[in-house]
A and B are shown apart, each in its own frame.
Chain A
Amino acid sequence: MVDILIPAIITIITASTPLVYAALGEMIAEKSGVLNLGVEGMMLMGAVTGFIAVTQTSSVMIGILAAMLAGAGMSFIFAVLVLGLQATQVATGLALTIFGIGLSALIGQGLVGVAYEGIPKLSIPLLSDIPFIGPILFEHDILVYGSFVITVVVSWFLRKTRAGLILRAVGDSHHAAHAIGYPVIRIRYMAILFGGAMAGIAGGYLSLAYSPLWIENMSAGRGWIALALVVFATWRPARVFFGAYLFGGITILQLHAQAMGAGVPSQVMSMLPYLATIMVLVLISRDQKKIKMNSPACIGQPFHPSS
C-alpha cells in the first residue's frame, strides 16, 4: 500500500505546486485591486522561456529566473495598458492570454521533441531518511520547497507587515489610499509584476519539472484554474495553498484512475479538474456576503490620480 501511496502523494505535490505559485501571485495582484485574466498566457511564456534557458545553459537557476522574467515581462505589458493607459482589465487580461498562447507557440516551435531530464531533487539530509514522511516531504526539487516558503511569506506579508497593509488598503479603497499619499499606481505595478513573476515560475515548473518538455498550450487551463482558486480561497494564502492541493489531488487521482483502466473513458476523467473547478466556484460564490466581505473592494476598477 505504502508503495503506491508515496509516489501518488509525491505526484500530487508536483501537480499542485504550479497552482500554488500562479494562484498566490494572482491573489497579490487582486489584493491590490487589479484583476489580471492573463495568467494562462503568462504561464505559457514562463514555460517556454524557462525551457529554452535550461536547455541552452543547463543551469536550473537560470531557467527558473528566465521563467520568472518572462512572466513578469508579460505582466508588465498588462500593467502599462491598465495602469498607464486605463484599458479595461478584463479585456486586457484576455488579450494577454491570447497573445501569450500565440507568442509561446511561436517561440517554442523548434522545441517540440527536445528532451530535458527535469530539475534535480534535493534530498534534505537526515530528514529525508525518515520512513514515509521523509520521501513525501523532504525529497523534492527546489521549487516545491519554494512554494511552501512563498505561501508562508505571502501570508506573513499580508497580515503582519506595513507594506502588506498598504497593499490591501490600495485594493480596498484606492481613492482613500491616494488621498493619504500612497503611490497607488506604483504599488499596483509592483503587485502585477509579482503576480506575473509567480505565473512565470508556475509555467516554468510545468516545463522543467512536472513534465519536462515543451508542448504548445501545455498549461491546459491551469492559469484559469488558478484564477478560480483565488476566489475559492476567498483571497487568503493558506486557503489558496489548500485549494491548490485539492486540485492537484483531483488531477492525479484521475490520471491514476486512467492508468488503472477504471472502465471510464479517459476523456471523462480528464474533464474532472474542470468540472471540479466549476463545482467549487459554485459552492463558494453562492454565499454572496462571504465573497463581498473578502474580495478587494476596488477589484477591476480603473484608477486615475486626477479623478
Chain B
Amino acid sequence: MIPYLEKRAEHSQTMVYISPFIALGLTLLGGIMLFSLLGKSPAQALYAFFVSPLTSLYGWAELGVKASPLVLIGVALSIGFRAGVWNIGAEGQLTLGAICGGCVALWMYPVDSIFVLPLMMIGGILGGMFWASIPAFLKTRFNANEILTSLMLTYVALLLLSLLVHGPLRDPDGFNFPESRIFHDAASLPIILDGTRLHLGAVFALVAVGGIWLLLSKSLIGFQVKVIGQAPAAGRHAGFSVNRMIWFTLLLGGGMAGLAGMFEVSGPIGQLLPTISPGYGFTAIIVAFVGRLHPVGSLFAGLLIALSYLGGENAQITLNLPIAVTGVFQGMLLFFLLACDVLIRYRIRFKPVSRLRHG
C-alpha cells in the first residue's frame, strides 16, 4: 500500500486546530530522538526543557519576559504574512527600535520625568518603522523583493548597533567596554510583578493581541488583508491597493518590532549592548506560523516558543546540553507544523502499489 494525497473539497476546519498539536507531538518525539543521540536521558531532558522552568513563580515571570517580544512581533508579522508581504527583517527593525529608544534614554540622562519612557517608546516605534519603510519603499517603488531587502537590512542594523556601542554611545565611565551607560530609573520599564523581571512590555503584548484581533475582525484594512491573502484576484477586482497593503503591513511589523526592541533594552537588559536579542525577530516568524497567523494563536505560540528558550537555558545549566538545541527544537516545530498543514487541504489515502502513477 502506498500513501497518496487526495484533495479535500473544502479545507478541514478541525485540522486547522488539530494540526499544531500533532506537530507539537511530533516535535516532542523528535526531541526524544535528539536527546538520546546526545546521550541524555530523554525524560530528564524533556523535564528540564518543558516542566522545570515553570515550577516557580519566577519561572512563569521569565516566560512572560521572553514571550513579550515574541508575541509583539509575531502578532504583527502574521498580518503581513496573511497579505503575502514577507517581512523577515524584524530582527533588524527590533535592533533599530532598541537603538532609537536607547538613544532617547541616553540623551535624556539623567532627567527624571514621567515623559522619558513614553518618548523612548515613540523613539523605538519610529526607529522600527523607519527601518521597515526602506523595504516598503523599495518594493512599492522599484519592485525589489522585500524578503531579501528586509533581511539584508538586518545585517546592516546589527552592524550599526555594534558601531554605536563601540563609539558614540559608549559609556564614558565604562573602561572602554562596548556598552552604553546603564539607563537611569526613569528610563527603565516598571516591573509589574515584584521580585521578578516581568515588565510593562507583557501588558503591551496582550494589548497588541487584542488590538490586532479587533483590527482583523472589525476594520476595513483587516478585511482587505484577509481578502488579498486568500484571493488576490478578488482583492484586485475590489480595487484594494496592494501598495497600501505593503506599506501598512511593513510599518505595522516594523513599529511593533521596534517597540519590542526598546522594551528589551529598557527592561531586562537596561543598557545598549552589542547583542540585544537572541534572534527574537527571526523566531517571531515561527510564532506567527505556529499561531496560524491568528492573533490569539500567536499569543499561545509565543508562550510555547518562549518556553523553549527558557528550557534551553535551563537544560544548559542542569544537563550541560548545548544552547543550540533550542534552535533545533524551534526549527523542527515549524517543519512539522508545515508538514501537518497538508491535512487541512488533503486527505491521506492508500492505494495498492500496482496502481501508482508517477506524478
Query: Chain A interface (Cβ within 8 Å of chain B)?
Result: 37, 77, 81, 85-88, 90-92, 94-96, 98-103, 105-106, 109, 178, 183-186, 216, 220-221, 224-225, 227-228, 231, 265, 267-268, 270-271, 274-275, 277-278, 281-282, 285-286, 288, 291, 304-307
Q: Are A271 and B159 in contact (CB under 8 A)?
A: yes
Of the four ranges (under 10, 10 to 19, 20 to 34, 35 or more), the interface on chain B belongs to 35 or more
Partner among A109, A277, A278, A304 whose Cβ is within 8 Å of the Cβ of B322: A109
- Contact string, B323-359, partner A, CB cutoff 8 A, digits 1/0? 0111111111011001101100110000000000111
Contact of B339 among A85, A94, A228 (CB under 8 A): A85
Q: Given A92-B338, A102-B327, A231-B145: A274 and B5 within 8 A (CB)?
A: no
Q: Check A99/B328 contact, CB under 8 A, given A87-B342, A109-B322, A267-B162.
A: yes
A281 touches B148 (CB 8 A): yes
Q: A85-B342, A95-B338 are in contact. Are A282 and B138 (CB under 8 A)?
A: yes
Task: Decide yes or no whether B289 CB sits under 8 A from chain A.
Answer: yes
Interface pair A285/B142, CB less than 8 Å apart: yes
- Interface-lining segment among B150-158, B216-224, B258-266: B150-158
Which of B144, B331, B341, B342 is the one whose CB lies under 8 Å from A281?
B144
Contact of B152 among A99, A101, A277 (CB under 8 A): A277
**Which residues of chain A have C-beta atoms less than 8 A from B148's C-beta?**
224, 227-228, 231, 277-278, 281
- Chain B residue nearest to A232 (CB atoms) is B148
Given contacts A91-B338, A267-B159, A268-B163, is CB(A99)–CB(B332) below 8 Å? yes
Question: Assuming A109-B322, A275-B152, is B328 touching A282 (CB within 8 A)?
Answer: no
| Nearest opposing residue in chain A for B151, CB measure | A224
Interface SS majority for chain A:
helix
* Complex interface: chain A residues within 8 A of B331 (CB): 95-96, 98-103
In the bound complex, CA of A228 to CA of B283 (Å): 22
The chain B residue with its CB closest to the CB of A276 is B152
CB of A234 to closest CB in B, whole Å? 13
Q: Which residue among A90, A231, A281, A288 has the maximum number of chain B CB atoms within 10 Å of its CB? A: A281
24 A–B contacts, CB within 8 A, in A order: A86-B5, A94-B334, A95-B286, A95-B334, A100-B331, A101-B327, A102-B325, A102-B328, A102-B331, A106-B322, A109-B324, A183-B359, A186-B358, A227-B148, A265-B167, A267-B160, A271-B159, A281-B148, A285-B143, A285-B144, A286-B144, A291-B143, A305-B359, A306-B6
How far is A95 from B335 in the complex, measured between Cα atoms in Å? Answer: 6
Proximity bits, B149-185, A CB within 8 Å = 1, else 0? 1011101100110110011000000000000000000
CA distance A33 to B163 in the complex (A): 41
Tell me the complex Cα distance, A106–B149, Å: 29
Number of A-B residue pairs with CB-CB distance less than 8 Å in the complex they form? 153
* Cβ contact of B159, chosen from A87, A96, A178, A270, cutoff 8 A: A270
Verify A87–B282 contact, CB threshold 8 A.
no
Given contacts A106-B322, A268-B163, A271-B159, is CB(A98)–CB(B286) below 8 Å?
A: yes
Q: Does B72 contact A (CB under 8 A)?
A: no
Q: How far is the CB of B67 from chain A (nearest CB, A)?
A: 18
Seed contacts A85-B342, A102-B331, A105-B327; 20 additional CB < 8 Å A-B pairs: A81-B339, A87-B342, A91-B289, A98-B334, A99-B331, A102-B326, A103-B328, A106-B327, A109-B322, A184-B359, A220-B155, A221-B152, A231-B148, A270-B159, A274-B152, A285-B143, A286-B144, A288-B143, A304-B7, A304-B359
With A99-B334, A288-B143, A307-B7 as known contacts, state yes or no: A106 contacts B328, CB within 8 Å. Answer: yes
The answer to whether A304 touches B86, judged by C-beta atoms less than 8 angstroms apart, is no
Q: Which of chain A's residues has its CB closest to B143's CB?
A: A285
Binding site for A on B (CB under 8 A): 5-7, 86, 88, 138, 141-145, 147-149, 151-153, 155-156, 159-160, 162-163, 166-167, 282-283, 285-286, 289, 322, 324-332, 334-335, 338-339, 341-342, 345-346, 357-359
Contact between A86 and B342 (Cβ–Cβ < 8 Å)? yes
Chain B residue with minimal CB distance to A307?
B7
Closest to A92 in B: B338
The answer on a CB contact under 8 Å between A282 and B144 is yes
Give the chain A neighbours of B7 by CB distance below 8 A.
304, 306-307
Q: Do A87 and B152 touch across chains, with their CB atoms under 8 A apart?
A: no
Interface contact A278-B149, CB-CB below 8 Å: yes
Contacts of B341 in A (CB 8 A): 85, 87
When C-beta atoms are compared, the residue in chain B nearest to A186 turns out to be: B358
Which residues of A are found within 8 Å of B342, using beta-carbon distances?
Answer: 85-87
Q: With a CB–CB cut-off of 8 A, which chain B residues contact A85?
A: 5, 338-339, 341-342
Whole-angstrom distance between the alpha carbons of A221 and B341 in the complex? Answer: 29
Tell me, rounded to whole Å, the shortest Cβ–Cβ distance linking B63 to chain A.
Answer: 21
For the complex, what is the distance from the CA of A88 to the CA of B86, rounded to whole Å? 12
Please measure, in the bound complex, the distance between the C-alpha atom of A91 and the C-alpha atom of B336, giving whole angstroms: 12
Smallest CB–CB gap between A275 and chain B, Å? 7
B332 cross-chain contacts in A, Cβ below 8 A: 99
- Cα A152 to Cα B359 in complex, Å, equals 31
Chain A, Cβ-Cβ closest to B152: A274
Q: A224-B148, A270-B159 are in contact. Are A90 and B143 (CB under 8 A)?
A: no
Instruction: Determine if A106 and B324 form an interchain contact, defined as CB atoms under 8 angstroms apart.
Output: yes
Docked complex Cα distance between A288 and B151 (Å): 21
User: Which residues of B are found within 8 Å of A278, using beta-carbon distances?
Assistant: 138, 144, 148-149, 152-153
Given A183-B359, A221-B155, A267-B160, do A281 and B339 touch, yes or no (CB 8 Å)? no
| A86 to B7 CA separation, bound complex (whole angstroms) | 11
| A277 proximity list for chain B (CB < 8 A) | 148, 152
* B358 and A102 form a contact (CB under 8 A): no
Bound together, the chains give a CA A265 to CA B168 distance in angstroms of 12
How many angstroms between the C-alpha atoms of A119 and B120 in the bound complex? 51
Cβ–Cβ contact B328 & A224, under 8 A? no
**Complex-state Cα separation, A305 to B5, whole angstroms:** 10
